[in-house]
Chains A and B, each alone.
Chain A
Amino acid sequence: MGTTFLTTIKTLVRQRDVLLWAIAFPLVLSTLIYAMLGNLDEAYAIDPVDLVVVDDATYQATTGLPEMITALSVEGVQADGTALLDITYVDSDEAARQTLADGDYVGFITVDASGEPAFHVDARYASSTTGTRASIVKIVLDQYWQTASLVGAMGQADPELFSDPALLEKLATEVSYTQRTSVTANPVSDSLAYMYSSLAFSVVMMMTFALAAIEDIQANTSALGARRSLAGQSKIRTLAPAIAASWTVGFGVQLIGYTYVKFAFGTSFGGKDPAVLLTLAVGVLAMTFTGAFVGSLPIASGAKSGITATLSCFLSLFAGLYGTFAQDLAESAAENAPLFALANPARQVTQAFHALYYYDGYQQFGQAILALLALAGVFFVLSTLMLRRKRYASL
């Protein structure tokens, strides 16, 4: 059995077209995803806005503004906070204009004699497409002006209100009534979801190896299969090492893909790497037995290759691996035909990855892994029943 195992590995690894395709597929797919979506996380991140402030006597005399600007800037932000502004201070309007001309700033802030701040936007950041960074400054100043006006109005209406320390504290700190919190223990990465999808996709492709290995065993598909069937060994002694070798090569290919995604792109799986590897291992096992089942069908060899390709696409479609439309379709199928969804190994692989992505606990993940193991068992029994046949009516 050991020789059959090693021989099957050699034959699979030396089928260059199959192997290269199997290896290249996840690498190319993940590279494309990285190229297209790698900066997705950065797109949502905030870089401090480069801003010039005219730090003259009127600015310093404006109540609260210098403190707020400093608190939001790189110099004043807390260690665990996000700096919104990167301030360059100048002492006059002319100096501010000159600084804008010499460097890349969204604009400058001045305070007039009445104490009203003004934001002068650089022309380069005034358009609708480039104005996001300028709008951050505008929001900051609006927030300040809104609060300052509120305080001024309150002072005019009832100066006694300011004798309440609690109210003063509230006015000084509360700038928003909503708060952003994370529901997961690990930070969610938008590109990671796509990397998981690429891994799931490549796991589905691993049917190919088992199909190739099984076809070389069957007497009614090739002269080689017939020759092996005539030998002095039971079918299981040929079948078991061939299946084991198919899984080994498939999992090896997945390890290459995982290593590439993790180290070439610096993808973090949020400390769930062992679970990711377990998903790859069990997923490849389920797809290996699915491929073995297709390989055991009593039909022409070429038809089996076609069925494998079609089945890969079909299962992936109903696993939601083809984008938003497919995800909607997969969810609809799962609601209306839960048994079909349960019996779809591609969906279970996807579900396992989704569970790792969305949930801190492992309950949903465990359910998907158990479903994959059950599917592997079912396809093992089916393919063994088909392949246990020792005699044929014709060859």
Chain B
Amino acid sequence: MGLVEIHDLTKRYKELVALDHFNLSIEQGEIFGLLGPNGSGKTTAINCMLQLLTYDRGTIELFGEPMSPTRYDLKRRIGIVPQNMAVFETLSVHENIDYFCSLYVSNANRRKALVAEAIDFVDLGDYRKFRPRKLSGGLARRLNIACGIAHKPELIFFDEPTVAVDPQSRNAILEGIQRLNQEGSTVLYTSHYMEEVEQICTRIMILDHGQQLALGTNSELKGLVDIGEKVEIELATPDPSVVAAIQALQHVAGVSLEGNALKLTCLRGARGVGEILDLLHSSGVTYGRVYSEPPTLNDVFLAITGKELRD
């Protein structure tokens, strides 16, 4: 029995099916990634799990027990970091964290220690008296996180916590989530940034139109598509004639010429970019830099849905 068990969850917004017979199982200690484009049903799934939204059918169990709107005992074991900033603009950093912690922990002395710990965790010690509007986007996101994790929940929902955050803050947030996980929290992480999900999640579900498209570890998902590597070669002069020759190679799945950039996808197997470079050399085509990268979750999404993840 997983920490989170959802069976056959269906949620409709009038004619729109937001979650379509959705199933989910998260084991204790996981960082589970829910990856999908905007509108795919990630936030709806979280709000249904937390009983904020009604749903048409399905069952939801958290911590092995059926979830209902009045299961405050279960809710107290959960932390939420919502997608949008959800703090009091008129309260300081410290006051905000203390308030949200008070929704779960009534003992003032215990709360004092927890709030101090949360402030240290997100490294907002220098900003404890600042109000949210005085914080940069990244610092504000950290405050949002501190408000959600101060009470040391066993299960934490991070709903796209890095949206509109600079790379430095994003890395700090991702490292923080990994630390929380190492300290014992199970994490459900939603994002439409595949790199983040790849970086921190132990298992990933790809979601679109409220339906599960794929589920597995990072490598398991990439194993679903027959891509060995993606190659980009900078040609000195564009030569369309080489495109057909390269396309004819058996291990090349696709090739295109975009300006001076020759872009191609190789099938999985022993042969790779070397054979292609030999062909260019023998054809008298001069080339400069060569880039090669393994397949990404975006390729998986593209292979399954026929569209880019960020479409």
Size class of B's contact patch?
Answer: 20 to 34
Contact B80 A394 (CB under 8 A): no
| Number of A-B pairs, beta carbon distance below 8 Å | 81
* B209 interface residue per 8 A CB criterion: no
Q: Interface with B: A222-230, A271-279, A345-353, A373-381, which one?
A: A222-230
| Alpha-carbon distance A392/B13, docked complex (angstroms) | 11
Contact B69 A390 (CB under 8 A): yes
Q: How many residues from A make CB contacts under 8 Å with B?
A: 27
Residues A204-235 near B (CB distance < 8 A): 216, 219, 222-224, 226-234
Contacts of A231 in B (CB 8 A): 75, 100, 103-104
**B163 → chain A, closest Cβ, in Å?**
13
Residue in A223, A224, A233, A390 whose beta carbon sits within 8 Å of that of B51 in the complex: A390
* A3 interface residue per 8 A CB criterion: yes
Majority secondary structure of chain A interface residues (helix, strand, loop or mixed): loop
Q: What sequence of 0s and 1s flags, for each residue 368-395 of chain A, a beta carbon within 8 Å of any chain B beta carbon?
A: 0000000000000000000000111111
Contacts of A7 in B (CB 8 A): 88, 91, 95, 99, 102
**A220 → chain B, closest Cβ, in Å?**
9
Residues A114-157 near B (CB distance < 8 A): none
* A186 interface residue per 8 A CB criterion: no
Residue in B51, B78, B82, B103 whose beta carbon sits within 8 Å of that of A226 in the complex: B82
In the complex, residue of chain A having the shortest beta-carbon distance to the beta carbon of B75: A232
**B232 → chain A, closest Cβ, in Å?**
41
* A92 interface residue per 8 A CB criterion: no
* A248 interface residue per 8 A CB criterion: no
* B50 interface residue per 8 A CB criterion: yes
Contacts of B102 in A (CB 8 A): 3-4, 7
* A15 interface residue per 8 A CB criterion: yes
Contact B72 A394 (CB under 8 A): no
* B86 interface residue per 8 A CB criterion: yes
| Alpha-carbon distance A392/B100, docked complex (angstroms) | 22
| Alpha-carbon distance A390/B73, docked complex (angstroms) | 16
| Alpha-carbon distance A392/B47, docked complex (angstroms) | 10
Contact B82 A392 (CB under 8 A): no
Known: A10-B91, A10-B95. A395 touches B100 (CB 8 A): no
| Alpha-carbon distance A163/B77, docked complex (angstroms) | 108
Known: A391-B51, A392-B52, A393-B53. A233 touches B91 (CB 8 A): no
Known: A230-B50, A232-B76. A223 touches B85 (CB 8 A): yes
Identify 12 residue pairs between A and B in the complex whose beta-carbon atoms are under 8 Å apart, listed by A's number: A4-B102, A7-B91, A223-B82, A224-B88, A227-B100, A230-B75, A232-B76, A232-B78, A390-B69, A391-B53, A393-B13, A393-B54
Across the A-B interface, the 8 shortest Cβ-Cβ residue pairs = A232-B76, A227-B86, A231-B103, A3-B102, A14-B90, A223-B84, A232-B75, A390-B69
